[in-house]
């Protein structure tokens, strides 16, 4: 057993950390306040090929499709300074590009992946609806066959990147079999007539990340845009989320790491009762618990990524990683604000933003309750 990173993985961490600190961290507070992604960061991300991290070079990517650990490290390092950017690139890569790469036809890869990998187009994954949250089977957006096309009608909510995306993976109800819904995933170009962006959500956290409602009114999608086969949408959706959860785990891990580092720094600076607060056992125990949680989250996240790279099943590992990392991030953010005292509630300190951002990890791509359900199902039934 080897817990070491390769030289390439160490280099990717170093380069991404430098990039995140130089370009993302200085504008993160402003982006959070404005609820907008910074255009200079967007431009730089494109130049450095971060939008194509998990895609082979032949489709314009950075070639980390078999190195999910590196993809996780990138997301972790971005998440260490700004969760909004981590989920923007993470969602784009893990639940839009990667599924097209893994389940798409060669024609679909050629047609969609190159622009997405270069960041010329942003991608989104659209499953959630007003009545379909934890229960993916509740999808009501319909796809009706019309000649060689399908006509999509309905709406999606809470889509990350929704308002800025040009390519969507849309889970739709394409029929019924034995009174059960049949779901299909469609690749939708947002230039298609009938498509529009609805409400842009005003959120507690990850405010710079675009979360939007998407409306489909007679949106005509050609049959060749079906991803992974007609009627395979339920299974495919779950497989897409299995990979996505590694990315969310990595984003949460980065946030927890950011909270830990900020807390250590503050504990070494702030003086009360004539001593640095880091001298007090009450503070030391918080730091010890945070560090232990961060390391647990890192081990589980990298293990899930490693299993993916080894072509082993990673659904269970991904759920465990996402559960532990999101709860580690929430606890770390809570303690980080506590360690900063009153200053922790002020915008001048990043932990104020981390605290609000942390809550999202326990909700999206399956709540903590749903992760526990998935894990328990594995335990009770196997797979």
Ligand X SMILES: Cc1cc2nc3c(=O)[nH]c(=O)nc-3n(C[C@H](O)[C@H](O)[C@H](O)COP(=O)(O)OP(=O)(O)OC[C@H]3O[C@@H](n4cnc5c(N)ncnc54)[C@H](O)[C@@H]3O)c2cc1C
Segment contacting ligand X by CB under 6 A, of 3-11, 224-232, 271-279, 363-371: 363-371
Least Cβ distance, residue 357 to ligand X (angstroms): 10
Please return the burial class of 144, using the count of CB atoms within 10 Å of its CB with bins 0-12, 13-18 and 19+: middle
Q: Report the alpha-carbon distance of residue 346 to residue 320 in Å, rounded.
A: 33
Q: Report the alpha-carbon distance of residue 136 to residue 132 in Å, rounded.
A: 5
Least Cβ distance, residue 30 to ligand X (angstroms): 20
Binding of residue 365 to ligand X (CB under 6 A): yes
**Which of 17, 37, 41, 29 is CA-nearest to residue 209?**
37
**Which of 157, 125, 349 is CA-nearest to residue 248?**
125
Least Cβ distance, residue 158 to ligand X (angstroms): 4
Binding of residue 358 to ligand X (CB under 6 A): no
Q: Report the alpha-carbon distance of residue 374 to residue 162 in Å, rounded.
A: 27
Check: CB of residue 240 under 8 Å from CB of residue 99. Answer: yes
Q: Which residues are bridge partners to 176 per DSSP? A: 181
Least Cβ distance, residue 7 to ligand X (angstroms): 34
Q: Which is nearer to ligand X, 207 or 286 (CB)?
A: 207
Rg (C-alpha) for the chain, rounded Å, is 21
Least Cβ distance, residue 159 to ligand X (angstroms): 5
Q: Report the alpha-carbon distance of residue 167 to residue 209 in Å, rounded.
A: 17
Check: CB of residue 167 under 8 Å from CB of residue 188. Answer: yes
Q: What tokens were used for 230?
A: 């007609």
**Which of 261, 202, 248 is CA-nearest to residue 367?**
248
Count the neighbouring beta carbons within 10 Å of the beta carbon of residue 100: 25
Active-site residue identified among 47, 76, 365, 369 = 365
Segment contacting ligand X by CB under 6 A, of 247-255, 278-286, 346-354, 366-374: 366-374
Binding of residue 369 to ligand X (CB under 6 A): yes
Binding of residue 41 to ligand X (CB under 6 A): no
- Binding mask 146-185 vs ligand X (x if CB under 6 A, - otherwise)? ------------xxx-------------------------
Q: Which is nearer to ligand X, 373 or 375 (CB)?
A: 373
Binding of residue 366 to ligand X (CB under 6 A): yes
By CB under 6 A, what part of segment 125-144 binds ligand X? Answer: 125-128, 133-134
Q: Report the alpha-carbon distance of residue 88 to residue 74 in Å, rounded.
A: 12
Per DSSP, helices labelled H in the chain are 7-19, 25-34, 39-47, 68-79, 83-92, 98-103, 106-108, 114-117, 233-269, 281-309, 315-339, 350-361, 368-381
Choose which of 64, 358, 360, 374 interacts with ligand X (CB under 6 A).
360
Binding of residue 186 to ligand X (CB under 6 A): no
- Binding mask 318-357 vs ligand X (x if CB under 6 A, - otherwise)? ----------------------------------------
Binding of residue 211 to ligand X (CB under 6 A): yes
Segment contacting ligand X by CB under 6 A, of 109-117, 203-211, 246-254, 321-329: 203-211
By CB under 6 A, what part of segment 75-94 binds ligand X? Answer: 91
Q: Which residues are bridge partners to 342 per DSSP? A: none
Least Cβ distance, residue 80 to ligand X (angstroms): 19
Q: Which is nearer to ligand X, 59 or 158 (CB)?
A: 158
Pairing of strands 211-222, 226-227: unpaired
| 47 given a catalytic annotation | no
Binding of residue 370 to ligand X (CB under 6 A): yes
Binding of residue 290 to ligand X (CB under 6 A): no
Site residues (CB under 6 A) for ligand X? Answer: 91, 124-128, 133-134, 158-160, 203, 206, 211, 360, 363-367, 369-370, 373
Give catalytic residues, as residue numbers: 365
């Amino acid at each position: 057993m080897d817990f070491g990173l390769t030289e390439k993985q160490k280099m990717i961490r170093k380069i991404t950390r430098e990039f995140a600190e130089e370009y993302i961290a200085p504008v993160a507070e402003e982006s959070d306040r404005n609820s907008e992604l910074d255009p200079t960061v967007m431009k730089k991300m494109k130049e450095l090929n971060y939008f194509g991290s998990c895609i082979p070079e032949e489709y314009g990517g950075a070639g980390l499709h078999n190195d999910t650990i590196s993809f996780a490290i990138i997301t972790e390092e971005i998440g260490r300074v700004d969760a909004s950017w981590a989920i923007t690139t993470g969602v784009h890569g893990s639940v839009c590009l990667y599924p097209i790469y893994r389940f798409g036809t060669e024609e679909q890869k050629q047609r969609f992946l190159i622009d997405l990998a270069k960041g010329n187009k942003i991608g989104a994954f659209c499953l959630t609806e007003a009545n379909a949250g934890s229960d993916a089977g509740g999808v009501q957006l319909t796809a009706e066959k019309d000649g060689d096309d399908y006509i999509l009608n309905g709406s999606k909510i809470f889509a990350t990147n929704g308002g800025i995306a040009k390519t969507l993976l849309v889970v739709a109800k394409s029929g019924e079999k034995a009174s059960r819904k049949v779901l299909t995933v469609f690749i939708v170009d947002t230039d298609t007539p009938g498509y529009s962006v609805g409400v842009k959500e005003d959120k507690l956290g990850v405010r710079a990340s675009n979360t939007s409602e998407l409306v489909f009114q007679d949106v005509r999608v050609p049959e060749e845009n079906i991803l992974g086969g007609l009627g395979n949408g339920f299974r495919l959706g779950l497989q897409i989320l299995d990979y996505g959860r590694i990315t969310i785990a990595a984003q949460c891990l980065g946030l927890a790491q950011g909270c830990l580092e900020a807390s250590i720094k503050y504990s070494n600076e702030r003086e009360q009762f004539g001593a640095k607060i880091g001298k007090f056992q009450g503070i030391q125990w918080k730091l010890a618990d945070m560090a232990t949680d961060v390391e647990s989250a890192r081990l589980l996240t990298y293990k899930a990524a490693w299993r993916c790279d080894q072509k082993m099943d990673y659904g269970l590992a991904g759920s465990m990683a996402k559960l532990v990392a999101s709860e580690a991030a929430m606890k770390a953010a809570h303690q980080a604000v506590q360690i900063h005292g009153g200053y922790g509630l002020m915008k001048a300190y990043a932990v104020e933003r981390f605290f609000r951002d942390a809550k999202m990890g326990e909700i999206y791509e399956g709540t903590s309750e749903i992760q526990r359900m998935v894990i328990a199902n594995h335990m009770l039934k196997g797979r």
